[in-house]
Structure 1
Amino acid sequence: MVDFPGYNLSGVIASFLFILLTMKQSDDFRVIGPAHPILARVGEDVLLTCQLLPKRTAMHMEVRWYRSEPSTPVFMYRDGVEVTEMQMEEYKGRVEWIEDGIAEGSVALKIYNIQPSDNGQYWCHFQDGNSCGETNLLLKVAGLGSAPNIHMEGSGESGVQLVCTTRGWFPEPQVYWEDIQGEKLLAMSEHHIQDEDGLFYVETTLVVKNASAESVSCFIYNPVLSEEKEAVISIPEKLQAELASLKVIGPSQPILVRVGEDIQLTCYLSPKANAWSMEVRWVRSHRYPAVHVYKDGDHVAGEQMAEYRGRTVLVSDTIDEGRLTLQILSARPSDDGRYRCLFEKDDVYQEASLDLKVVGLGSSPLITVEGRKDGEMQLMCSSDGWFPQPHVEWRDMQGKTIPSSSEALTQGSHGLFHVETLLWVTNNSTVNVTCSISIPFLGEEKRATFSLSESRMTFLWKTLLILGLLLAVAVGLLRRRS
């Protein structure tokens, strides 16, 4: 079987069953489509066509364009009108039915503003009473992205590090480096990230050990369009750039912040230099998408990671000295980890790393009696709202650890941990037990103590209270009868 992009086997089976159960293949006509795949660039409009043979009017037929499921069509035409009730949501308002040739059985569907998700197989289905015919056609979507940009980090012990970045490609492009003689160079790393629109961002890193090398090129190639884009960098020229002589300094110790508090990520240039004309970027693993990007005096919202949108504020009061602080509002467990602060000018950048530790000190533990059997009782200690994964233990009166019978840590949708730990103790014991939950590197803990003797006294008082109430009720009933 030929493997086409977007080919959906389950959809083909569903289509076959749909035809088999509801109608019979027509002996009077067949449907033909384009002999070759249709190529469309991202953002363009495309025309999908199909034709009845022999030619005949399709005015009173049902015509259905669909992807994998006939029941949710891209477009449906019946008895001269468009049927929109079952239409796929992503095609509403994006398709136009063209019926100029319908008297001869020729129909077309125009799709506006082609997107990567439109890539793949389509079916054109005609139905006349109980007879039907259909054909499939392949739409290949391609996007030629931005020209690559090569950024250089100042030379270090391992050599000069070059990072080539580009956006807006579809399908996933091919990437390679070449030296001035056209020889291929081996990249140190390569990352492809598909954004919310389905387009690919590419980031590839090359280390050039010989800093005196004249230049290197980065090529991005689209295999569908057979087109490529190139960027060239002159290493000696970039090494003389202003920023190559500067360093970016960040905190020397990890930044500690509690869940719900605001985060402050500060970095600065050394020696002091005005950063107004520079690009400053806070990132996690890759340069794109970013936590926050400052460029040309403003925030570049289009490059921001979804989870940081509306949560970042740039404090730039001392930007003329090269010092900037990024404030991230209301810390979450997902914010925990490493950040990089990049200052860039003329495609040369320097960076500093910042380690952020997010902590959540959960609720005070609650100890409850879960069951009793064979002279023992089972205690459960539970607590919510911890991050990272806490350390849990039971202790006796002397502070010695008591092994638990079981322990469960579950992480909720907000990333915080819920703790449950069980302990079996004998009913005749008078020893107190303590449940302790802590974040070791924070040096803080929360604990609860359970006294078995107090538990028995509480149980005794409850029993006496219940007996007293029953006795009072009984006395009241006897008095009423007398």
Structure 2
Amino acid sequence: MVDFPGFSLSGAVASFFLILLTMKQSDDFKVIGPAHPIVAKIGEDALLTCQLLPKRTAIHMEVRWYRSEPSTPVFTYRDGAEVTEMQSEEYRSRVEWIEDDTDKGSVALKIYNVQPSDHGQYWCHFQDGTYCAETSLQLKVAGLGSAPDIHMQGTVESRAQLVCTAEGWFPEPEVYWENTTGEKMLTFSEHHIQDEDGLFYVESTLVVRDASAETVSCVIHSPILSEEKGSAVSIPEKLQTELASLQVIGPSQPMLVRVGEDIQLTCYLSPKANAQSMEVRWLRAHRYPAVYVYKDGDHVAGEQMEEYKGRTVLVSDAIDEGRLTLQIHNARTSDDGQYRCLFEKDGVYQETSLDLKVAGMGSSPAITMKEWKDGEMQLICSSDGWFPQPHVQWRDTEGKTMPLFSEALTQDHHGLFHVETSLLVRNSSIVNVSCSISNSLLGQEETRTFSLSGW
């Protein structure tokens, strides 16, 4: 490692770009790389190589490996030593310079423990004095994830809905369904989510029209490795399981909760059945990540959506009767919408949907006045903390609606609405006006009256 006393990063970057401006493409030598992309599996090591032509020693040259920015290299070798001052943070302690053939102009860089973020283009750059040459190469990172799981919903009008899920794949895999003869089947929907590590979760849905004698397979294929994993399911067999004859029941009407209150999502099996050995999920649009997952008698924290972590409690005292309640603390505007409650056992699931309406009453309106023009007055009414979008009205002394001059609605980072509306008063005989802001879900309003006497 080379240390530079009094080293300044900003000064080094400026010097580097100054060098770039003065460098010339070499007619003396060129750089070549591998003819084909380098393939490495996640967790393995990757070896990047390039070669000077004609062959010559590179011991006293600068060799720089970089991605998009030469100023933040993956690795820099200069005068026989590693230079780390400007090295990209994600590659520190993960790369090694292989010196075996440096005297012949052949250089190699090993990247340890390859990650999805390492996928892409790299540049190998040689500099000899003011002359330089470089080439690019591709590193293709791939990871085989889990084998697909197939979950089946009980039939409705002889149709069965199958959901295939898998996780841990990279890059985004191909998903397809096929029947017993190997023919591909038309997918109803498909959903891909990339997690914080860059790995993909996939969810594919198939609707089978005739469930009486179907066996189907779900296949997940890696386009880079040309490898795949598959699972098959026999629908008639699944329809003989316990859960296939049950229903999941939820509230018949939308649930209404105020911002800041606790939410209770209750669903149950009918007829009553012990759900202790079942998996129960509360979902939004997709199976993963979930609002809450109960499995093997415990909460599965790793599958929970970030916005619900630390806010959920499961009430399971009636689980032996198939009744469960999920409490979500401190309702937010983002909680508004549809939820699904799903019971699953032996690869068969039944579900119901629950509609949640979140409402927030805002502050009492504040009214201010300013002179407009030609003796007219402009009244401005404002209020904060409303959800959903409120309805605003101005009324005169007799309670008649007055036309708005302007209205603006904005949402803060909590999703709550701030409303600001204005009214032009031209008639000096008007004594009082009122500004009313109402929440249609709660059937409530906040009103402020303003006196114009003496105007």
Give the TM-score normalised by structure 2. 0.92
1:42, CA displacement in angstroms?
2.1
Contact 1:427–1:452 (Cα < 8 Å) also in 2: no
1:44 aligned residue:
44
1:395, CA displacement in angstroms?
1.1
2:233 aligned residue:
233
Alpha-carbon separation, structure 1, partners of 2:55 and 2:403: 83
Give the greater-gyration-radius structure (CA): 1
2:385 aligned residue:
385
Other structure's SS at 1:187 match? coil
1:330, CA displacement in angstroms?
1.6
1:416, CA displacement in angstroms?
1.1
2:315 aligned residue:
315
Q: How does 1:50-61 map onto structure 2 within 5 Å?
A: 50-61=50-61
Contact 2:394–2:433 (Cα < 8 Å) also in 1: yes
Question: More helix by proportion, 1 or 2?
Answer: 1
Alpha-carbon separation, structure 1, partners of 2:236 and 2:216: 11
Cα shift readout 1:16-65 (whole Å, capped 9, x = no counterpart):
x9886231122333222111100112222211112223333333322211
Q: How does 1:49-448 map onto structure 2 within 5 Å?
A: 49-157=49-157, 159-426=159-426, 428-448=428-448
The 10-residue stretch of structure 1 (77-86 or 258-267) with the greater mean CA deviation from structure 2 = 77-86
Contact 1:377–1:427 (Cα < 8 Å) also in 2: no
Q: How many residues align?
A: 439
Contact 2:158–2:210 (Cα < 8 Å) also in 1: no
2:3 aligned residue:
none
Contact 1:158–1:207 (Cα < 8 Å) also in 2: no
What letter corresponds to residue 150 of structure 2 in structure 1? I
1:390, CA displacement in angstroms?
0.9
Cα shift readout 1:328-351 (whole Å, capped 9, x = no counterpart):
222111111001011100100011
2:5 aligned residue:
none
Going from structure 1 to structure 2, the CA distance change for 1:89 and 1:331 (only over 3 Å counts) comes to farther
Alpha-carbon separation, structure 2, partners of 1:294 and 1:302: 11
Alpha-carbon separation, structure 1, partners of 2:336 and 2:161: 27
Contact 2:397–2:430 (Cα < 8 Å) also in 1: no
Contact 2:219–2:229 (Cα < 8 Å) also in 1: yes
Cα shift readout 1:81-116 (whole Å, capped 9, x = no counterpart):
433333323323332333233233332222222222
What letter corresponds to residue 261 of structure 1 in structure 2? E
1:441, CA displacement in angstroms?
2.3
Cα shift readout 1:256-282 (whole Å, capped 9, x = no counterpart):
111122221111112222222111111
What letter corresponds to residue 131 of structure 1 in structure 2? Y
Other structure's SS at 2:380 match? strand
Cα shift readout 1:186-219 (whole Å, capped 9, x = no counterpart):
1222222222222222211111121211411111
Going from structure 1 to structure 2, the CA distance change for 1:414 and 1:88 (only over 3 Å counts) comes to farther
Going from structure 1 to structure 2, the CA distance change for 1:256 and 1:374 (only over 3 Å counts) comes to same
Contact 1:58–1:105 (Cα < 8 Å) also in 2: yes
Alpha-carbon separation, structure 2, partners of 1:237 and 1:332: 43
What letter corresponds to residue 316 of structure 1 in structure 2? S
Contact 1:365–1:381 (Cα < 8 Å) also in 2: yes
The 10-residue stretch of structure 1 (97-106 or 380-389) with the greater mean CA deviation from structure 2 = 97-106
Structure 1 regions of 5+ residues with no counterpart?
Answer: 1-16, 457-482
1:406, CA displacement in angstroms?
0.7
Cα shift readout 1:226-246 (whole Å, capped 9, x = no counterpart):
111111101111001011111
> CA RMSD for the aligned pairs?
1.9
Going from structure 1 to structure 2, the CA distance change for 1:329 and 1:43 (only over 3 Å counts) comes to farther
What letter corresponds to residue 150 of structure 1 in structure 2? I
Alpha-carbon separation, structure 1, partners of 2:348 and 2:254: 27
1:476 aligned residue:
none
What letter corresponds to residue 173 of structure 2 in structure 1? P
Cα shift readout 1:134-158 (whole Å, capped 9, x = no counterpart):
1110111122221111111111126
Going from structure 1 to structure 2, the CA distance change for 1:241 and 1:104 (only over 3 Å counts) comes to same
Alpha-carbon separation, structure 2, partners of 1:194 and 1:57: 44
Cα shift readout 1:385-410 (whole Å, capped 9, x = no counterpart):
11111111111122221111110001
Contact 1:214–1:234 (Cα < 8 Å) also in 2: yes
- Percentage of identical aligned residues: 78
Q: Structure 1 stretches (4+) deviating beyond 4 angstroms?
A: 17-20
Other structure's SS at 1:220 match? strand
Contact 1:367–1:380 (Cα < 8 Å) also in 2: yes
Structure 2 regions of 5+ residues with no counterpart?
Answer: 1-16
